[in-house]
Amino acid sequence: MSKVKVGVVGYGVIGQRLADGVVRQGDMELVGIADVAPTLALRALAEKGMPYKLYCANPDNIPQMEAAGIPVTGTADDLLDQVDIVLDATSAGVGRKNKEIYQKRGLKAVFQGGEKNDVADVFFHGYANYEKGLGKDYLKLTSCNTTGLIRAVDCLDRLVGIERVVVTIVRRSADPGDTHRGVVDLALVEPVPNHQAKDLMLIMPHIEATGLLVHVPTTHGHIISILATPKKSISKEEVLAAFNAHPRIRVVRITDGFNSNTALFRYARDLGNPRGDMYEIAVFEETITFSGNNIFFTISVPQEAVVTPETMDAIRASLMMQATREEAVAMTNKYLGLK
């Protein structure tokens, strides 16, 4: 069976990981990536020997790229000519402009969380609403912390039914190496509800959600406390079993040393994972408790790689590679080595 042909436009923190993810999918082919300038990400790609092809999104910059020792295979148009679907991982706002190009070509595309919702036909999460994405031309993924949050809430929702959630998100304010954003010695509070709660309600409209967003001086993941009101009573063992059974959730113990976002990052590095990435969110076992009937627990979301699995799911939905959520996520998980 021939493989689905995928292109990645934008090779930043997210685009790099989506490209890697596509390469790992046995039923997909990464035709190549496109970017505009000789970034460090492209220099690293060149130093690795170009495991995949680069197309230059701004032909004027081809000489500059080649001067930097980065081989260029063609232009972005050349890439788009060859693919069935584009993963657009450009900076927020650029995807909207790119969409016009994709539309003229009748080309399907998957956008990331930074774009406005109306860029897409459907706001998508592989586990929570896979079927809504089936056959759609333009899908938009949830943002990194919403993706992780929904994974956990969807897991409980399918187990017991969730009516309401209240979240407090302790957000990393920059990615490692960022110099254009970040806070120093400050916990920045945004008005309630945060966009993650609103986004959760768009994906899971039967749940009432609200929450606080706090930006802090860290770079290695978001910490989210979640209070979820179930439709019926449930035991801690059942909650734990459900999390343990989820291929994209890793249950960890604080007493074992998994005491922070950064301990998880360090562990992923020590595992030998490429870029030190982890696809799974972590649930800290010792944080699972109850307040009245409500389930209270805390997760860590590795912001750099967490959206990769659900983006692979989005390709499957848009191209109708699998008809059901169960089949689709199982395929993605298998290829990414999740459980």
Least distance (Å) between residue 325 CB and its own copies: 28
* Partners of residue 301 on adjacent β-strands: 222
Least distance (Å) between residue 330 CB and its own copies: 22
Least distance (Å) between residue 125 CB and its own copies: 22
Least distance (Å) between residue 223 CB and its own copies: 5
Helices of type H across 25-143:
40-47, 62-67, 76-82, 94-105, 126-129
Q: Give the burial string for 186-222 (b: 16+ CB within 10 Å, else e).
A: eeeeeeebbebbebbbebbeebebebbbbbeebbbbb
Give catalytic status of residue 155 as yes or no: no
Angle in degrees, CA 17, 22, 25, rounded to 5: 130
Please identify, using beta-carbon distances, which residue of 83 and 167 lies nearer to its own copies.
167
Least distance (Å) between residue 43 CB and its own copies: 7
* Alpha-carbon gap, residue 23 to 28, rounded angstroms: 7
Please identify, using beta-carbon distances, which residue of 1 and 184 lies nearer to its own copies.
184
Is the CA virtual torsion 132, 161, 311, 23 positive or negative? negative
Please identify, using beta-carbon distances, which residue of 9 and 283 lies nearer to its own copies.
283
φ, ψ for residue 8 (rounded to 5)?
-115, 120
Is the preceding omega at residue 193 within 30 degrees of 0, hence cis?
A: yes
Q: For residue 45, what is the enclosing H or E element? A: helix 40-47
φ, ψ for residue 256 (rounded to 5)?
-80, -10
Please identify, using beta-carbon distances, which residue of 82 and 229 lies nearer to its own copies.
229
Beta-carbon contacts of residue 106 (< 8 Å; ≥ 6 apart): none
Least distance (Å) between residue 285 CB and its own copies: 9
Marked catalytic residue, from 31, 144, 207, 234: 144
Please identify, using beta-carbon distances, which residue of 48 and 232 lies nearer to its own copies.
48
* Alpha-carbon gap, residue 325 to 223, rounded angstroms: 27
Q: For residue 293, what is the enclosing H or E element? A: none
* Alpha-carbon gap, residue 102 to 98, rounded angstroms: 6
For β-strands 162-172 and 208-216, DSSP reports them as parallel
What strands, in cross-sheet order, belong to the sheet with 108-111?
74-75, 54-56, 28-35, 4-9, 85-88, 108-111, 138-141, 122-124
* Alpha-carbon gap, residue 173 to 216, rounded angstroms: 6
Please identify, using beta-carbon distances, which residue of 122 and 167 lies nearer to its own copies.
167
Q: Any binding-site annotation on 35?
A: yes
Contact (Cβ atoms closer than 8 angstroms) between residue 130 and residue 313: yes
**Binding residue ranges for NAD(+):** 35
Residues tagged active-site: 144
